[in-house]
Structure 1
Amino acid sequence: MHQINKWEQAVRLKQNPLTSRNFPETEVFSEDVLQEFLNRSSFVYVKPIGGREGKGVIRISKNSNGIYSINGYTNTGSKMDKECFNMEEVLTFLYSNHIQKSLPNYIIQQGISSFTADGQALGVRVHIQYVKDQWVLGGMLGKLGNQEDGIVNRNRGARALPIRELLLLHLHMNQQEARVVEEKIELLCLEAGRVFHAEHDWLKECGIDIGIDPSGEVWIFEVNMRPSIKFFYHLEDKSVVNQIKKNRLNRK
């Protein structure tokens, strides 16, 4: 089955002038890289190169007292919460529970704060489609998570809401600011589609997870090459999911 793993995604997105500015710093996992990232960022994400549905994704943070917190999910989807008092404990925990030390099967990604004013993790899911020789927007929705780990995934309890509602009510933007953000998200995601399609012409649809930092800047967190549209059915307004289905018919 066709797929583009997270490391290849990172390499391709970093090579493109437009997407590179809005994609978090990402490297293949190693002990040195983990330490280096945590010296520069308050938290990072460690992700399996080929994972889906939020499985295997963990957040590692370090507070002002030097205590590390590990939150997230095992590769089977079980919740993970652990406090460690030094990096040696962190690595011991990861190697015993999560990461195969001998294989480069995980990436480390710079943590980007994407939260509402009251501390709820937020995100945007964007569905793009390749129709009649061009990438088009199928639809987008807002996501609110219920987990402190910042992982905003339908399979991890996130809820869907209209994108405009997310921007206006939860990020307190005005209508003009919201329109600008939506337009930027659309342009960024369509460019990501073109980046991958240039080398993978089998690719017809992408589900792209977007974060929005406190300054209102948007970030590509992840691109799913086998996207489900189930989350769009959670919206009361069915026009978005209907547009996605219409685009699929127009492709034939």
Structure 2
Amino acid sequence: MSPSLLEGEYAKFNFYKLDKTWRRLPEDEKEASKREFTSVISEIGTESPITTYGLTGTRGDCDIMLAQSSMDLDDFDKTAKRINHTHLAGYLDQSYSYLAVRRKTQYKHGGAEPKLQDYYKYFIIYPMVKKREWYQLNQDERQKMMGDHFKIGHKYPSIKINTTYSFGLDDQEFVVGFETDEPREFVSLVMDLREIPGGFYTESETPIFACVRKPIEEALEAVG
């Protein structure tokens, strides 16, 4: 699965941290637990797409991220149940969780659609909330500021954006994700966005997670 979604599809982003007591377990017990967890994630992926990421080297409060998509919201409940019944779940804390849905944007992008690849190594994701003043602006005013936003985005054609909507489903309003093979370019993109007027209407866009795409067994191996 790629974090790219179909129109109307739900997305769930789950971040987990393994307790430090995990590393003190006997090696054979850890290996058996990893195999079980890997098998469960693989089985889930055959029913609804799921992509796995590691964050051991990029954040201190989470080790792995599971990005799952489905047209059926109940699938996320089934996933949680199956994960909670694994041996690894006894050492697994859910640090963050974000729920959203893919919708068509109300703003015109302008310009041609860039050619994008299917696989990117990095997925940078964060929850976002706009200030209430943003919603008091008329559509033309918002379109103009979003137009500035899109122009900057077009300067970085190698970065793919995924915007999902959480209004009424979760605490944030949006979950915004960027796929890239070069995080330095994303830093430049964000710095450019800070200089446009539309940024004034952002209430919050933290925490930010720099996720490294990898098989779940590799993500677990990095933990210990």
TM-score in terms of structure 2 length: 0.26
TM-score in terms of structure 1 length: 0.24
Identify the structure with bigger relative contact order (alpha carbons < 8 Å, sequence gap 6+): 2
